[in-house]
Structures are given as C-alpha cells and as structure tokens.
Amino acid sequence: MSNEAVKNFLDGFSVEVTPKAASKIENFEDYVPSGTLIYIAHIEGTPIDEMVATAKKINDQGFCPMPHFPARIIKDKKVLNDWISRYKNEANVSNALLIAGGANKPYGEYDSSIQLIESELFDKANFSNLHIAGHPEGSLDIDPDGSTKNVDHALSWKNEYSKRTDAKMAITTQFSFDADAVISWANSVKASGVDIPIHIGIAGPAKLQTLLRYSLECGVGASIKIIQKRAKDLTNLLLPYKPTTIISQLAEYKDKNPDFNIEKVHFFPLGGVKQVSDFVKEI
C-alpha cells in the first residue's frame, strides 16, 4: 500500500472529544491541522454550559466544532431550540451530529434523529452541516431483531431530506475493526440509492483493554472478534492497538475505486487525541 494513498485517505480527518478531554488540551493546534472538524460528544448528564464552552474554545482556536445532539436526552422543542441558539450565538456553531443517543428511555418527546430534523429548528438556524449516524455492523438499539430494516429506512428518509433541502449531510459511523465488513456495508448503502458521503469511524490507538471496554459499551459486533483474537496473544496484549491495518485496507480500496462513498476518516481517540495525532504523523 502506497503512503500517498494512505495520506490521501486520511486527508481532512476529524476527531471526537468530550468536554472533559477538551479541557485537558491547551491548544488543539498542537495535535490536529487548522480547520479540523472536532466533534463534541454529549454524554448523558453533561451540562449544556460545558458543551457550549467547549464548542467556543474549539471555534476560537480556529477549528470547526460539531456538537452531538442526542435526541433521547432532549426534553422538548424548547430545550432543543435553546441548545441550538446557544451554540449559534455563543460559539458560532453551524454543524451538528444528530443521533438517537444511548439513553435507555427518552427524557421527553424525542427518540430519533429524524424527529430532530423534522423540528425544522436546525434549518431555521442555518446549520449548514448535519451529520447522521451510520452503523456498519448494524445497531441492536434500532433493530433489536438483528436486521437492518429500521436503520435502512432511516437512512433512506434522510437521503430524501438531503435532496430536497440545502442541508449538507454526511454519515458518521460507529467504529469498526473489519475493513471487509465496512466495504460491504458502504457498497450496500450506495446500492440502495443513498448517496450521502460516509465518514468512517476508526478507533484511534489505545490499549487493548480500553478498546475491548469501549467496543462492548458501543455494541460493536462481529469485528470485536479481531480485537479479542489479538488480546489472546500475550505479546500483543502488551502493545497498544493501532488502526494501521484497517486504514491501509480501506485506503487501498479507495485508491482502486475512486467513486467509493467513504469520503473521510473520523477518529474516536479512545487512547487520547495525542495518540491519534502521533499515529497520523507516523503512518
């Protein structure tokens, strides 16, 4: 695999932080290129004040904040409008990742990203980039029967929405460790008529124990076996995981298939933003 193909594939990558993680980073320019899209995970229980302050810090330093809007932790339209207004007015935000969220029970009237879109509040606030969730290995939260019926329907609906509006959309996915599974899923999305570009989720360098924990929490299915197999080798267990293999395989496929619908890489920095930064510089 040529270094040029990998560098092209990683060009314009994004990262994700929590307010807590962001508070430990004095300046993001020490780790990622200027203008990088930085997602802000909204974990259940995080005060909106902390989310908005994090978005302002990221924007003030010359980066593009993209806060999560988890439907199930938003009580009602008034709260949603308040969040959007505060992000817009206090942190100059015009990007949002719309997700159902991990809460077992909705706080109020929302339980899906479609309902957030239907509120029309993002459109009225001129949010230019609306990203949505993708699940290369399915989602038992959305399809408890193990199928992809509900996920597929939701993607189709969002694709039609993107066609009839000015919203610039992308599918930001959960992380996976299996390039073949990702390629098969991405091609099936395109074959279904959905032409929204994909930002593929990749787990950044981390200890295997950390990866296993997050994988179980996030419901990563079949590809977790790749990590479990690696963990059985005591030699590998002592070494941090790096996503070199999956990045190289996806970059090679993209190089040979320029129309492949994976447009960007989105890193989940499970071992820290610095580790992602070092990995990108080294690869």
Percent above pLDDT 70 for the chain:
87
Percent above pLDDT 90 for the chain:
73
Looking at residue 127, the DSSP 8-state letter turns out to be -
Average pLDDT over the chain reads 90
Structure tokens at 22: 């962001």
Cα(6)–Cα(250) distance, integer angstroms: 9
- Domain regions of the chain by residue span: 3-282
Q: How confident is the model at residue 208 (pLDDT cuts 50, 70, 90)?
A: confident
223 vs 6, residue with greater confidence: 6
Task: Determine the topology of domain 3-282 in CATH.
Answer: TIM Barrel (3.20.20)
143 vs 242, residue with greater confidence: 242
Burial class (CB in 10 A: 0-12, 13-18, 19+), 54: buried
**Predicted confidence (pLDDT) per residue in 12-45, tens digit:** 999 999 999 999 999 999 999 999 999 999 999 9
Q: Which of 263, 247, 203 is nearest to 16 (CA)?
A: 203
Q: How confident is the model at residue 64 (pLDDT cuts 50, 70, 90)?
A: very high
Per-residue pLDDT at 104: 74
Per-residue pLDDT at 109: 93
Quote the pTM value: 0.91
Residue 100 φ then ψ, to 5°: -70, -40
Residues 161-176: b if buried by 16+ CB within 10 A, e if exposed: bbeeeebebbbbbbbb
Distances (CA, A) of 151 to 39, 79, 134: 22, 26, 8
Q: How confident is the model at residue 240 (pLDDT cuts 50, 70, 90)?
A: confident
